[in-house]
Amino acid sequence: MTLELQSLALLGGLTLLMAAGIEIAPAMGIVAGLGMLFFVNQPLDYFARAAFDVMNSFTFTAIPLFVFMGTIYATTGIVRGLFQGAEKMFGNIPGSLASAMILANAIFGAISGSSVAATATFGRICFPEMQKAGYDAKMSLGAIAISGTLSVLIPPSLIMIIYGGWMDVSVARLFAGGVIPGIILTVFFVITVTILVLRNPALAPRTATRQYTLREKASAIWDIFPFVVVISLVLGTTFTGIMTPTESASLGAFLSIVLALIFRQMTYKALKESMLLAVNVSAMMAFVLFTARMLGQVFQYIGLTEATATFMLGLDVSKYSMLALICILYLILGCFFDSVSMLVLTIPFVAPIIKNLGFDYIWFGVLYVVLAEIGLVTPPFGLNLFVLKGVVPKYEITTIFAGTVPFLIPTCILIVLIILFPDLVLWLPNYLYSR
């Protein structure tokens, strides 16, 4: 059977299984198994061993630990103090509650690395407060959904860990590369809220906003300080090389438990829920990685990945035109796949193209994360939209998505800036690790 027919059978089979409602991980496992049976002249355990070798990675050990960090904060509710502190800091500016929620989300992202955890947590904590203050529901929901995406850009990021382990590049460098873009996007989101409210004050009535004194604003430092300490120790030990990302994740998990104990929010029930949720999320991600690796091995064996790279590189277009095509591809795929599945499905095809075009793998990893952020809030399968819908079932997915639209503009601006000015990503990793 020719390469074209084999490729059509595999990709068509995957599409049909997903269209029939089968989840991405088992669908990839079924297609990989059939491909090994009919198209591959190798012992079946060859691919299973290859997939296991990927999973048997010290780098991937960081994933359940960072997930556990996020679940501790989500189940204990100690991030409420983080939101309250951010609210005091923003004080009297237009849309202060929304801006405070964005800042709190950015800080929480530097702890959890999980967009789902961030969206669910702040949906429960912040939306009722914003409703009580008379904020427009659509803008509030949109701001919560989009700011949850900061957790996959601001380190530690679960997507960056997966990308680093898959591509065999430094996770610490990826973390460093996400810092400046993460700060820029946080500022962009706050500016967007301010502009929206200035144009239409009815979105966030100032009469319902509490006026904080200078002393109260100063006290906000103490509300946020414990979280900053955890972030500084986790990222500081990683960036300085004192600990690996996995070891830093262990430290972060321990400090998160200590912090919950200090705030008197840690109970046996909360600890149990945090551990079970972390196990469930980690097992799901591991299953996706395992089946994707097997399918990728089949694609590589039949020659599909090499043929795709050869075809794309043979097109008579500039390297930036090719990059634009890849970005458009990810924006489209992001409407149908979660960021992890999209990464592991496409990276065997995209990585050779990126390498041959001369782009840096660290730079592209951060660019991919920003592109994946958009997919988290775009229908029909934007994950953050469904998570927030589950938290606030009163509102439809279309309402939540409509609220995110103004925030997609600064996200797209950041993509352009990263492409035009690669040092926005590469300066900090080069500064930290090239001396």
Is residue 227 within 8 Å of 153, Cβ to Cβ? no
**What is the pLDDT tens value at each position of the chain, 435 positions in all?**
687 888 888 888 888 888 887 887 888 888 888 888 888 776 766 666 766 766 677 777 888 888 888 788 778 877 777 777 777 777 677 888 888 889 888 888 777 777 877 888 888 888 888 888 889 999 999 999 999 888 888 888 888 988 988 888 989 999 999 999 999 999 999 999 999 999 998 898 865 556 666 676 677 777 788 888 888 888 888 888 888 888 888 898 898 888 888 888 888 888 888 888 888 878 887 888 888 878 887 888 888 878 887 887 787 788 899 999 999 988 888 887 778 888 888 888 898 899 888 999 999 999 999 998 888 888 877 878 888 888 888 888 888 999 999 999 999 999 999 999 999 999 999 998 875
How would you label 201-236 residue by residue, b for 16+ Cβ within 10 Å and e otherwise? eebbeeeebeebeeeeeeebeebbebbeebbebbbe
**CA-wise closest residue to 407 among 51, 146, 217:** 146
Query: Which pTM value belongs to this model?
Result: 0.86
Chain position carrying tokens 């958009």: 374
**Model pLDDT, residue 179:** 93
**Model pLDDT, residue 51:** 64
> What whole-number distance in Å separates Cα of residue 354 and Cα of residue 260?
43
DSSP code string of 319-385: HHHHHHHHHHHHHHHTTTS-HHHHHHHHHHHHHHHHHHHT--HHHHHHHHHHHHHHHTTSSSS-HHH
**Model pLDDT, residue 306:** 80
Please, what is the end-to-end C-alpha distance for the chain in angstroms? 53
Instruction: Enter the DSSP assignment of 206.
Output: G
Taking the domains of the chain in order of start, what are their residue ranges? 27-35+46-433
**Model pLDDT, residue 371:** 92
Convert the pLDDT of each residue in 292-323 to its tens digit: 878 887 888 888 878 887 887 787 788 899 99
**Model pLDDT, residue 194:** 92
**Model pLDDT, residue 177:** 94
Longest Cα–Cα distance in the chain: 75
> In this structure, what token pair is assigned to residue 121?
């947590």
Is the sign of the CA dihedral 171, 177, 179, 182 positive or negative? negative
Convert the pLDDT of each residue in 188-206 to its tens digit: 999 999 999 999 988 988 6
**What's at 366, amino acid-wise?**
V
Q: How would you classify residue 323: left for phi > 0, otherwise alpha for psi between -120 and 50, otherwise beta?
A: alpha
**Model pLDDT, residue 207:** 57
**Model pLDDT, residue 370:** 92
Q: Where are the alpha helices (DSSP H) in 3-156?
A: 3-19, 24-38, 44-55, 62-76, 79-90, 96-112, 115-132, 137-147
* Residue 38: C-alpha distances to residues 35, 98, 280, 304, 369 (Å): 5, 55, 33, 15, 35
